Structure 1
Amino acid sequence: MPNRRPIPWLLALSAMLACSVQAREYRYSDAHLHYVDFFQESAGMDELLEKMAQNNVDHVMFSGIPVAKKWDEDEPKRPRYYAGDDANAYWYSATDVFIAAAYKRLPAEQRKRFHPFLSGFNPNDKNADAHIRRMLELDPGLWQGIGEVFTRHDDLTALIHGRAPRANNEALARVYHLAAEYDLPVMLHSNITSKREREPIYLEEIEAPLRNHPHVRFIWAHAGTSAEIHRHQEKLDYLLATLERMLDQYPNLYIDLSWTMLRPYLLDENGKPDEKWVQLVSSYPERFMLGSDVVGRFASLGEYMKGFDPFLDALPEEVAHKVARDNFLSVLPRRVQAELDR
């Protein structure tokens, strides 16, 4: 084979492309943020605003936590997380009162960056839609989405009083009809499987709402994955093919790529972008969004959001900016989008 010398203009082009990728700077929308934790406590708005400013986070999905963790009489130490002991958790509607109050205290120029989602209801209660309607009428125009709705959620499911919620139950069907009426997106936490089963035993629970409520924009939190599932199974080998089929089949499905998706899916064990996931996201450039899933504390907000940068850098630049910031804004109610465009 002849000894071919490098073509100068090709080397220059390669260098320019490399510099272009390295020079990318992203602005983010955090599509999955909880202002309070499982004890309905928060580090507060000052810390959140500071971390948003430091880390180029322009917009946040602003939600509470729909349950409160009990400090049981028989537990000697106050738990720090819902999985800290065996005590129950219970549905807690006041979480939305805290969200509304924090939002209303914001200066007018900051409010457009915060997008309150209503979550404080029992998804097994067929009165839930009536409660949500009262909340919407109490503060007209304040709420911009519903969720995160907890259905299948690791060990938390077993800790909540009553039956395990399903994303395809009758109570939530009534909520989805209300969401369509008010043009509200719905974020669902619905695990695709259990910790032990190596097949998607709960997949139909998320597919049925997608199929039966085509006018509702559904955001699937973590694409049905969780840290607890990964502790037992490491990686769901069927996830990518399942999402590819679902995204093609359901135009109302959007995927929240919050932290449990970063590894082991988007980035490999060496921190390199997975080419198959790059291809999937590039094929559906308006259907993926990023989230930190921080819970009441915001010091790690920038670490979580910027942790996606290596994956974003592997995407076409236009797609990367959509995933980082714009796709979340595109699922908000049309009235909100019109306000943001002014």
Structure 2
Amino acid sequence: MSLFRLGIAALIAACATSTVEARDYRFSDAHLHFVDFFQESAGLDDLVANMAAANIEHVMLSGIPVAKKWHEDEPKRPRYYAGDDANAYWYSATDTLIAHAYNKLPAEQRRRFHPFLSGFNPNDKNADALVRKTLELDPGLWQGIGEIFTRHDDLTALIEGDTPRANNEALSRIYHLAAEYDLPVMLHSNITSKRERNPLYLPEIEEPLRNHPSVRFIWAHAGTSMEIHRHQTKLDFLLPTLERMLKTYPNLYIDLSWTVAHPYLLDKEGNPDPEWVRLVSSYPARFMLGSDVVGRFDSLKEYMDSFVPFLDALPADVAQKVAHDNFLAVLPRTVQAELAEQQPSAE
């Protein structure tokens, strides 16, 4: 074994030794959809109850920017966007549903919920005007933009219209607006296709990172997807690519939700991957966790708990940043200031 790998093994062993007593994590869920692909939800009461069960203090509250069609020729209503071959279409009313849910929350609860605006067509150069109007209708309500769907494997094929790209002109106008309003942007932009074993679409995410340095970009699932993994199992180029990008782009943040836990953070036996422990430890402010649930919340605890073996392999201060703090740190500065004021002062 090389000295480098011995060092990594020693780091993990030291972290494990220091966590004989289980750590008590507080979570921020940086990737949660309040509604599903039919714009339906289990509701606020269910979400709040499951947040309590999962020890989740803060959530990103977003809609779904598309709605799945129940086609005239389909005898049974689909349960998911991949349930049949019917199209999906861009659905701007999803933001109305999010705003309505947020405004129903008791005032003391609202500090825990962070609405992200997503209901626009990312191929339409009119989209920034719609987003600006939505921001102006509810000043101070929206705390981010996304999840923006660009390349999203089979879902992209189902959405009516052209394939969205993270580096198209319509989205460039959105990024300028995000910078103006100090809003983070969550992008779903697959790093490759189902078949290509190389970072085929990487330039599409790198261009906005380079051209919009004042925008804080959250890359959903680090560019991976479940459909990619069905065909390729694991992308060997992902970790070195992320390492280069994190070094190059200080405005890049990585969402570790869903398709990143396995097979990257943890192996088949549930053991932390030493290389990912090293990467996250090297950039302790740049990673965050999410569940990526869609409209149903009873699996929140299961999803967040699945990250615990990886968090336990990190230094304690880094683990708490990844589990809780980093998501809050990308929110608008006014929101961060309000959260800081609401923290109880130390006696």
Bin of the TM-score, shorter chain as denominator length: over 0.9
Name the structure 2 match of 1:70.
Answer: 69
CA 1:232–1:339: 2 relative to 1, 3 Å: same
CA 1:17–1:42: 2 relative to 1, 3 Å: closer
Deviations 1:98-135 (A, max 9, x none): 00000000000100000000000000000000000000
Q: For 1:15 and 1:166, how far apart are their aligned partners in 2?
A: 43
2:32 counterpart SS class: strand
What's the CA shift for 1:22?
A: 3.5
| Structure of greater Rg | 1
Deviations 1:300-333 (A, max 9, x none): 0010011100000000000000000000000000
CA 1:19–1:198: 2 relative to 1, 3 Å: closer
What code does the residue aligned with 2:114 have?
H
Q: For 1:16 and 1:92, how far apart are their aligned partners in 2?
A: 46
Q: For 2:121 and 2:290, how far apart are their aligned partners in 1?
A: 24
Name the structure 1 match of 2:344.
Answer: none
Q: For 2:258 and 2:20, how far apart are their aligned partners in 1?
A: 23
Name the structure 2 match of 1:143.
Answer: 142
Q: Contact 1:288–1:327 (CA<8 Å) still a contact in 2?
A: yes
Deviations 1:141-185 (A, max 9, x none): 000000000000010101111100000000000000000000000
Name the structure 1 match of 2:157.
Answer: 158
Number of aligned residue pairs: 329
CA 1:220–1:16: 2 relative to 1, 3 Å: closer
Q: Does 2:203 align with 1:208? A: no
Q: For 1:339 and 1:236, how far apart are their aligned partners in 2?
A: 40
Q: Contact 1:145–1:184 (CA<8 Å) still a contact in 2?
A: yes
Q: Contact 2:15–2:315 (CA<8 Å) still a contact in 1?
A: no
Displaced runs of 4+ in structure 1, greater than 6 A? 14-17
Name the structure 1 match of 2:111.
Answer: 112
TM-score, normalised to structure 1's length?
0.95
Alignment of 1:10-89 (within 5 A): 18=17, 20-89=19-88
Name the structure 1 match of 2:93.
Answer: 94
Q: For 2:16 and 2:150, how far apart are their aligned partners in 1?
A: 44
Q: For 1:217 and 1:256, how far apart are their aligned partners in 2?
A: 12
Q: Contact 2:16–2:313 (CA<8 Å) still a contact in 1?
A: no
Q: For 2:58 and 2:72, how far apart are their aligned partners in 1?
A: 40
Name the structure 2 match of 1:10.
Answer: none
Q: For 1:149 and 1:234, how far apart are their aligned partners in 2?
A: 25
Name the structure 2 match of 1:254.
Answer: 253
What code does the residue aligned with 1:295 have?
V
Q: For 2:249 and 2:43, how far apart are their aligned partners in 1?
A: 38
TM-score, normalised to structure 2's length?
0.93
Alignment of 1:119-268 (within 5 A): 119-268=118-267
Q: For 1:334 and 1:62, how far apart are their aligned partners in 2?
A: 18
Name the structure 1 match of 2:318.
Answer: 319
Q: Contact 1:51–1:301 (CA<8 Å) still a contact in 2?
A: yes
Deviations 1:233-267 (A, max 9, x none): 00000000000000000000000000100010000
Unmatched runs of 5 consecutive residues or more in structure 1: 1-13
What's the CA shift for 1:18?
A: 3.2
Q: Contact 1:38–1:67 (CA<8 Å) still a contact in 2?
A: yes
Deviates most, 190-199 or 116-125: 190-199
Percent identical across equivalent pairs? 78
Q: For 2:160 and 2:268, how far apart are their aligned partners in 1?
A: 39
Name the structure 2 match of 1:5.
Answer: none
2:31 counterpart SS class: strand
Q: For 1:20 and 1:268, how far apart are their aligned partners in 2?
A: 20
Question: RMSD of the TM alignment (CA)?
Answer: 1.2
Name the structure 2 match of 1:338.
Answer: 337
What's the CA shift for 1:20?
A: 3.1
What's the CA shift for 1:23?
A: 2.1
What's the CA shift for 1:16?
A: 11
Q: Contact 2:19–2:312 (CA<8 Å) still a contact in 1?
A: no
Q: For 2:26 and 2:163, how far apart are their aligned partners in 1?
A: 38
Q: Contact 1:219–1:256 (CA<8 Å) still a contact in 2?
A: yes
What code does the residue aligned with 1:98 have?
L
Q: For 2:237 and 2:61, how far apart are their aligned partners in 1?
A: 31
